Structure 1
Amino acid sequence: MNSKIKAFMKNIALTFMVAILMFTTACNKGPEGVVAKVNDAEISQEEFDRDYAAQANNAILMSNNADILEETTDQNPQVTMGQEIRRQVLENLIQMELVKQDAQKKNIKVDENKVTEQINAVKEQIGGEEVFNEQLKTVGMTPEFYENYVRNTVLMNDYYEALLKEFEADDKQLEKYYNDHKDEYFTATASHILVADVDEANKIKKELDKGADFAEMAKEKSLDPSGAQGGDLGTFNNGEMVQPFNDALKVMKKGEISDPVKTDYGYHIIKLTDKKARTFKDLKDELKQTYAQEKVKEYVDKLQKDAKIKRYLDPKDDYKLPEKYQVALPKTAENEKNDKASKEANKNAKTNAKVENKAEEKANNTKAENKADNK
């Protein structure tokens, strides 16, 4: 498959651009052909089928596995991939409908010129309209679907930017925000020892508490490349390290050595050499963005909380992808080899059956002749 189509497929799921407080409600039987209702607007089964097909086909083609939708997810062995995709698609459609309704109230309209420009840019990159349409066809999509996807993305971007502007803070609001969150903004100089096992981390911490040299222990025990420099991480700002590491530094004091801190990398023992508060002047632009993003999240959370949302589709119910959206897996050397072997086996089976039938027919004829002779 063309690499640009692959890139498109990886991003085909329309995700909300702001963190949203998700909640679920019981699924009730609704009007025929309707999967959900958002305030007074209905989301049709056709819309759901179209968007689900995009993501389901993506999963099938990327894994080269026609049965992947029936396999369970890593996060929950009780939920299949198909069920999880259906849940995500339903929620995305609901979120998009909320955005459309609120955007209309704010008089934010889709810029059709942006839509056309983006689609034409993709067509040009991929090799022209004919190639573009053919590639969409191979993944079970239509140009109409892709146009709708781009239109929603353009609206989402413009809506989000409008909200950021709406909640832009003045200097007085920013100073108050800074004073309320001053401890969260710092510059730190630190070292660490990284190990894979919590028991080993606890043993190292005990040795350090007894007076062992931190740098020497890092050189001997740390799995991180910084161990060669005694675990030295240099000087960095808050937020540059993974969240658990950052959270530990936030409450540590200069010269302190932490208990083991678990991250996706393993267990860290952190030594804080120095920590200084970052000034309002240095942080002003960052604070302006953070403040607006938090206010947007609060606004969107309330928007969803206040909305009347009814879900009529249960992602766990049996579901069959409509035939018009189904795609065939591309032929691979292994697939072709298996197909050839299967055809050969079928051919041999038919040949054997013919031989057996002829042998049986001949035997029956011989019996009949013998019986006639005996008479």
Structure 2
Amino acid sequence: MLLTALSTGPCWALLPTGVLAKVNDVPLSQSSFDTLLQTNITQGQKDSPQLRQILKSDLIARELLLQEASRRGLERREGVQQALVTLQQNFILDLLVNDHLAQNPVSEADLKSEYERQSGLLKGAEQYQLRQIVTASEANAKAVLTALKSGKDFGALAQDKSIDASKAQGGQLGWLLSNDIVPSVLRAISTLPKGGLTASPLEVDGQWLVLLVEDKRPFQVPKYEETLPQLRQSLVQQRRLQLLEQLAKSAKIEQ
């Protein structure tokens, strides 16, 4: 709430039908208030005189602030109109996606099918707990590897030599799923034992990596009930992409 303690004060003049209040002669519609009230009730609030007064005060406070923003000419500042257009477009896009989902709802069968599909993709997957030291050149990476083989501490070397943000955590990357690891890296670490170092530096996107496998384990696919939010989000995204593909096929696009 913007200003829940705002006092509306006495008003002896009757307001026109459909008008909740007036702020400097600007009417606030009763329908706006009704929509706001219903939204709060839907979100778990209990309808009461106190809630209604708070919401009314909030609408009045918003109008006061909007009028002040207009008085200062903020909407005429550079970039503001384009930002407002973008906000409006995003709102309409959300409406479109929600409308499409209402016409093509995600069913229980869809969720279970997606769970089976994703579970199949993860069959036999492993997880690796890795540390890394990233350098700008192969020579630097080889020097790091030599230092590690001589007994230097990996975490300390990572903090001192690595150019990656993970240096702050001593090169720790946490648990990574094999499906998410770059193939060349996965080939290099898949045969290493726990505590094993890559035999030589690995080049990835123009940088050189030295990796330590701290631990590894088979990936345990979570139960269906545990993944419902992620499954639903995945299907919503799929439907959004399907809609976009349908529109693109029937559209004339010139670039």
TM-score, reference length from structure 2: 0.50
**Residue aligning to 2:67:** 129
Secondary structure of the equivalent of 1:189?
A: strand
2:251 alignment partner in structure 1: 307
- Inter-partner Cα distance in structure 2 for 1:159 and 1:179: 32
- Please state whether the residue corresponding to 2:241 is helix, strand or coil: helix
More strand by share: 2
Q: For residues 160 and 218 of structure 1, what CA distance do their matches in structure 2 show?
A: 47
Aligned to 2:133: 193
Q: 1:174 to 1:213 in 2, by over 3 A?
A: farther
1:266-345 alignment runs, 5 A limit: 267-272=208-213, 273-281=215-223, 282-310=226-254
SS in 2 for 1:179: helix
Larger proportion of helix: 1
Query: Per the alignment, do residues 247 and 140 of structure 1 end up closer, same or farther by CA in structure 2, a change over 3 Å counting?
Result: closer
| Greater relative CO (CA pairs within 8 A, separation 6+) | 1
CA contact (8 A) 1:196 1:267 kept: yes
Q: Name structure 1 gaps, 5 residues minimum.
A: 1-111, 312-375
Q: CA RMSD in A?
A: 4.4
Alignment of 1:48-197 (within 5 A): 124=62, 127-132=65-70, 134-139=73-78, 148-163=85-100, 166=104, 168=106, 169-182=110-123, 187-197=127-137
CA contact (8 A) 1:174 1:288 kept: no
Identity %: 12
Q: Is contact 1:194-1:267 (8 Å) kept?
A: yes
Instruction: Kindly indicate whether the alpha-carbon contact (under 8 Å) linking 1:174 and 1:291 is maintained by their aligned counterparts in 2.
Output: no
TM-score normalised to structure 1 length: 0.37
- C-alpha displacement of 1:151: 3.4
Structure 1 residues 158, 182: closer, same or farther in 2, change over 3 A? farther
1:226 matched to 2:165? no
Larger radius of gyration: 1
Q: Secondary structure at the match of 1:170?
A: helix
Look up the equivalent residue of 1:194 and give its one-letter code: V
Structure 2, gaps ≥5 residues long: 1-30, 37-57
Name the CA distance, whole Å, in 1 between partners of 2:63 and 2:186: 46
What is the number of residues matched between the two proteins?
A: 180
